[in-house]
Chain A
């Protein structure tokens, strides 16, 4: 089959590899109809996530048709159309049973390495480095899906691929980002990053009853999406001072909740600060560039919530612990527990409460994956989300 492989820093290539086979009785094989490129893939593309090997198949957002199931998969049949959640979760450990699927205790066969870096191991993730399991990803023609009796959601025909594939990651992730804010009526929420995750976090915050939502980024076309599709007010951090503007918008209180949907490759309007983190990250003294996280903490109302869905992999410098502690802030975070959001969010789509596919800007065949990566990386051609189709 054809699959998108990581070939080194800033390099992906569609190559020929063997078709996947069933390795465990709870596996299924899915023929992929639509898959997507994610901001998380950019962290791999740029080489900021450790433990990648040349030839690793990328992709964790995918859907398609079940073509084969292991003997213990009784809920699916060949021919079923499914979307597959990006965290791999067994469904039977204590974490899974409590709905914390992205910290499944069993799904990372390389848990030993992850423990050395993170203390305990999170779940395995499709196409997301050997640190998180060394699973072949879904930017390919086929994928092996472990624990297929737990993860994949069968889709009704009337929900098109374009909407359904959003359920693999970005919609649940944005939604969880908003849900962790514990939004009460009248509350104001600020979102850093107007990528797919930030846009869907903003839209979800509105769904969950936020009075006003502010979205911060520097790309006008992305900010436009935030205004037009997520009901947000926007701040271009290259044009105005973010903290001043937020104080003004909230009459000095600060947003009740702040969502970091930027992650470890944040950019900073101040060239000197940006250079500081860039250099430290470049020489791997600091693994992250966290300007958005720092700013979210400083901006947040005292007693408020900082919700972090942007991805981090290692260690952060100049973390404003003083502000965080003295002002009674709460931080909530995590890779999304996608499995627990699939059904409720599918229902929201079916009821017409939201169409998450508003973020999609590009569709291209799988063989053009390398081009898709470049477009998304460089934000060319107003690129906000790339779908690859079989």
Chain B
């Protein structure tokens, strides 16, 4: 499964969420750090270094460091960065333990060996967590995210109803060629791709709040994982409805990905803006607004390469 399928949608609604491991390790850091600062004595005995005069200062210092990592992992914005600081901390602990082991024997040495084994295990987990957080971040960095809104002079219920019928979407989403509903939640999308090719996927509605909001996402297996949410909020001053859209999609990496990204819009923002403008036109005026130089309505491409403002060639009928 493409990892983005698991993170894309929640991410559109709330601040970045990562796989659970880094955060769990963060809590571990907090617990360890707190006990090291508050009660260095028992910890020193447990690990077998209670004979060292330095233990009383070194252990609380390590505890403070651990608290730092823990806070970073639990509350920080970039867990992958903090996960690597934990790995660095582990390395430091391991070398301290190795050094302590050289001049100890018997029960103390046994305890130190056990501690070293535990820390080594934690280090392995930390490396894993750091790697996975990094992967999630890189996918996220490729995600194209768009927030856009338009005000439509219709009630939230009318705007919702039109959008909820997914087969209406191609009327105003210029790159979407067709949407076929499979059942109440699922639909099949056909989107214009590079060089006349098509990209297709199935999508499902994952959250449906009548007259208020709709959220959908592509099902696993699409080359362009994507998700979106649209909200219908009454506009202040009796001006209809604020239609607020959040979209995200992940173009595949590599050359194919770049081509797909281009088709989805060299200026994805402009494309979504134009889509919303057409949505407004269709709801308010009943049709996409066409001029002689833009007979198919707004489109980014057409705005750059307009035909002259003359009637279309004879026989043109729509």
Taken together as a complex, chains A and B put the C-alpha atoms of A133 and B277 apart, in Å, by 14
Tell me whether B309 and A106 are in contact (CB under 8 A). no
CB-contact partner of A90 in B289, B297, B313, under 8 A: B289
Q: How far is the CA of A24 from the CA of B270 in the complex (A)?
A: 24
CA distance A93 to B150 in the complex (A): 12
Q: Number of residues in B with C-beta < 8 Å to the partner? A: 38
Is the beta-carbon distance between A25 and B298 smaller than 8 angstroms? no
How far is it, in angstroms, between the C-alpha of A25 and the C-alpha of B290 when the chains are bound? 11
Q: Which residues of A contact B258 (CB under 8 A)?
A: none
CB-based contact A23/B303 at 8 Å: no
| B interface, over-half SS | loop
**A contacts, CB < 8 Å to B:** 1, 3, 5, 17-21, 23-26, 53-57, 72, 90-94, 97, 105-113, 124, 127, 130, 133-137, 142, 144, 146-147
B298 touches A111 (CB 8 A): yes
Determine if A18 and B153 form an interchain contact, defined as CB atoms under 8 angstroms apart: no
Closest to B273 in A: A112
Contacts A106-B280, A106-B284, A111-B298: A136 and B311 contacting too (C-beta < 8 A)? yes
Beta-carbon contact of B297 and A18 below 8 Å? no
Residues of B within 8 A of A144 (CB): 292, 311
> 7 A-B residue contacts at CB 8 Å?
A18-B310, A106-B280, A109-B290, A111-B298, A112-B300, A134-B306, A146-B290
B239 at the interface (CB under 8 A from A): yes
Contact B318 A93 (CB under 8 A): no
Q: Tell me, in angstroms, the Cα distance from A142 to B270 when the chains sit together.
A: 34
Task: Find chain A residues with CB under 8 A from B288 CB.
Answer: 24
Question: Given the complex, which residues of A lie within 8 Å of B289, measured CB to CB?
Answer: 24, 90, 106-109, 124, 146
- Taking the closest CB of chain A, its distance from the CB of B296, in whole angstroms, is 9
Residues in B whose Cβ lies below 8 Å from that of A135 = 291-293, 309
CB distance from A113 to the nearest CB of B (A): 6
A residues in contact with B295, CB < 8 Å? 23
Q: Taking A107-B289, A109-B298, A112-B300 as contacts, is the C-beta distance between A134 and B309 under 8 angstroms? A: yes
**Closest residue of chain B to A127, judged by CB?**
B309
Contact A53 B309 (CB under 8 A): yes
Cβ 8 A contact of A94, one of B153, B291, B308: B153
Contact between B318 and A23, CB atoms less than 8 A apart: yes
* Given A25-B287, A109-B289, residue A130 in contact with residue B153 (CB < 8 A): no
Chain B residues with Cβ under 8 A from A106's Cβ?
Answer: 280-281, 284-285, 289
Find out whether the CB atom of B303 lies under 8 angstroms from the CB atom of A112.
Answer: yes
| B293 adjacent to A21 (CB under 8 Å) | no
The answer to whether A109 and B284 touch across the interface, beta carbons within 8 angstroms, is no
User: Looking at chain A's contact residues, is the secondary structure mostly helix, strand, loop, or mixed?
Assistant: loop
Q: A56–B290 contact, CB under 8 A?
A: no
Known: A17-B310, A20-B311, A92-B153. A136 touches B284 (CB 8 A): no
A26-B310 contact in complex given A110-B303, A130-B293, C-beta closer than 8 Å: no
B306 adjacent to A130 (CB under 8 Å): yes
Q: Tell me how far the C-beta of B236 lies from the nearest C-beta in chain A, rounded to whole angstroms.
A: 12
With both chains docked as a complex, state the minimum distance between the C-beta of A29 and any C-beta of chain B, in angstroms: 10
In the complex, besides A109-B297, A111-B298, A136-B292, 19 extra interface pairs with C-beta distance below 8 angstroms are A18-B310, A18-B311, A19-B314, A21-B317, A24-B290, A53-B293, A53-B309, A54-B308, A56-B310, A92-B284, A94-B151, A94-B153, A109-B290, A109-B294, A109-B298, A112-B270, A124-B289, A134-B292, A134-B294
Docked Cα-Cα span, A21 to B290, in Å, equals 12
Q: A93-B153, A94-B240, A106-B285 are in contact. Are A137 and B314 (CB under 8 A)?
A: no
Asked whether A130 and B309 contact (CB < 8 A) given A90-B289, A111-B298, A112-B298, the answer is yes
Q: How far is the CA of A26 from the CA of B289 in the complex (A)?
A: 10
- In the complex where A110-B298, A133-B291, A135-B292 touch, is A105 in contact with B312 (Cβ < 8 A)? no
Determine if B196 is an interface residue (Cβ-Cβ < 8 Å): no
Complex CA–CA separation, A91 to B286 (angstroms): 11
Is B287 touching A134 in the complex (CB atoms < 8 A)? no
Q: Does B316 contact A (CB under 8 A)?
A: yes
What is the distance, in angstroms, from B177's C-beta to the closest C-beta of chain A? 20
Name the B residues within 8 Å of A133 (CB-CB).
Answer: 291, 293-294
The answer to whether the Cβ of B202 comes within 8 Å of any Cβ in the partner chain is: no
Residues of chain A with a CB closer than 8 A to B153's CB: 92-94, 97
Smallest CB separation, B14 vs chain A (Å): 31
Given A111-B298, A112-B303, A134-B292, residue A53 in contact with residue B286 (CB < 8 A): no
* Residues of chain A with a CB closer than 8 A to B285's CB: 26, 90-93, 106, 147
Neighbouring A residues of B277 by C-beta, 8 Å: 111-112
Contact: A93 with B311, CB < 8 Å?
no
Q: What residues of chain B lie closer than 8 Å to A1, measured between beta carbons? A: 311
**CA separation between A112 and B281, bound complex, in Å?**
14
Chain A residue nearest in CB terms to B235: A94
Decide if A19 touches B309 in the complex (CB within 8 Å).
no
Taking the complex as formed, is B204 at the interface, i.e. its CB lies under 8 A from any CB of chain A? no
Closest CB-CB distance, A373 to chain B, in whole Å? 17
B309 x A24 contact (CB < 8 A): no
Q: Which residues of B contact A97 (CB under 8 A)?
A: 153
Query: Which residue of the partner chain B has the closest CB to A20?
Result: B311
Q: How far is B289's CA from A144's CA once the two chains are assembled, in angstroms?
A: 13
The chain A residue sitting closest to B274, CB to CB, is A112
User: By the criterion CB–CB under 8 Å, are B297 and A105 in contact?
Assistant: no
Asked whether A18 lies within 8 Å of B294 as measured between CB atoms, the reply is: no
Q: Tell me the smallest distance from the CB of B84 to a CB of chain A, in Å.
A: 43
User: Complex: how many Å from CA A133 to CA B308?
Assistant: 11
Distance in angstroms from A56 CB to nearest chain B CB is: 4
The answer to whether B310 touches A21, judged by C-beta atoms less than 8 angstroms apart, is: no
